[in-house]
Amino acid sequence: MFKIVLILFLLLATPYLVSSQSYSLESFQDKYVEIEEYSSLLIDIGGFSSDQWMYRFDLEFEFPYYDTSYSYIYAYSHNLFNFDSQSDWIIRLFSVFTRPKRDFDILDIQSDIRYKQTISNGLKCLVLQHTNVKFVGDPSVEDHDSYLNFQQWFFEDGSIEVRFGEMNLAHSPGFVPGEGYFLFLSNDLLIPLLVSVGIANSQKSDGVFISGTHDDFDVLDYEHVVNGLKSLPPEGWVIRIEPQPSNVEDLSINKVQLYPNPVENKLVINPVNEIPSRVEIIDLMGNVVYNRPWVSNKVNLSHLPAGMYVVRLKFRDRYLKKSIIIHP
């Protein structure tokens, strides 16, 4: 009887002791494209009379996060997100203190938080676009028109992205190159600000956060992040967080056809039964030199130097990988 009870306890307790989902964090250069046919959060909230706000987005898809799926997400001022309006912010996507500028024409809103639910690369997603927003309390806005543009994306496969657009902060004390970000208390008093980009589980026992610059950083858990993001990413830069498949398999001819190999310019990838969601190419030093959603079975490799690489295809529950050689 004791053995039966013990086995039953272990079976019931296992999901709470081990979180099966893990995440990776990477960054890369891409293009910044503004959304069209969007809704205005400024209109929905009735104007940002306060620097503090909260809004619940009901999703048109199930969003998997660690070992739970959600049909909604709460967004907060300062670019914080969670799934419980009473709990701490476990998703922090460029946690600077920003807001739309106060003066606006309701018929032509130039500074806003815009959003839409759409399909991108075959995946349903929610995107928030911070358009010409400012640092809260920034004294440089009036004289120098300081502004920020960036987006936050939530995909139905559990991936999350922060995409950076055009910034004009040359005269803003809110960001100092080589030093980082600052919070305004008055024109003469600035406090260093820890800007977080990353996620954690609800217990904060697991997570991935940037510590360093956008192109040279360590990935740390929630409790050990000291520096946060210390740089201002250029236009088109992407920071991507995605769930990791539990299995990594070598490609076989029955799963994916990949040719020619060796390759000179264009690599052809023909999946047999299932289309991958993402294509990555990794050099021998472990650097991701190509990282794009699946849009075509032809991949242009003409920009890469000759050598050996690994092609890694992401599917919902696994990775498939194969070595290739690029000829000059």
pLDDT tens per residue, the chain (328 residues)?
Answer: 434 333 333 333 333 333 458 899 999 889 999 999 999 998 888 776 677 889 999 999 999 999 899 999 999 989 999 998 777 889 999 999 998 887 666 667 889 999 999 999 888 999 999 999 999 888 899 899 999 999 999 999 899 999 999 999 999 999 999 899 998 876 677 899 999 999 999 888 899 999 999 999 999 988 888 789 999 999 999 999 998 876 666 655 557 888 999 998 899 999 877 888 889 898 888 788 888 888 889 999 998 999 999 998 888 767 888 899 998 7
Quote the radius of gyration of the chain (alpha carbons, Å). 22
What does the pLDDT read at residue 1? 43
What does the pLDDT read at residue 244? 82
What does the pLDDT read at residue 42? 87
What does the pLDDT read at residue 316? 72
Evaluate whether 301 touches 263 at the Cβ level (below 8 Å).
yes
C-beta atoms surrounding 262 within 10 Å: 10
Q: How far apart are CA 64 and CA 232, in angstroms?
A: 29
User: Where does CATH 2.60.40.3080 sit in the chain?
Assistant: 247-326
What does the pLDDT read at residue 17? 36
Q: How far apart are CA 173 and CA 60, in angstroms?
A: 40
What does the pLDDT read at residue 150? 98
What does the pLDDT read at residue 92? 96
Model pTM score: 0.78
**Cα–Cα distance list, 55 to 94, 111, 172, 183 (Å):** 17, 18, 28, 23
- For residue 64, whether the previous peptide bond is cis, meaning omega lies within 30 degrees of 0, is no
- Nearby residues of 28 by Cβ (< 8 Å), 6 or more positions away: 237, 238, 240, 288, 291
C-beta atoms surrounding 174 within 10 Å: 25
Evaluate whether 296 touches 310 at the Cβ level (below 8 Å).
no
Q: Which CATH class is domain 247-326?
A: mainly beta
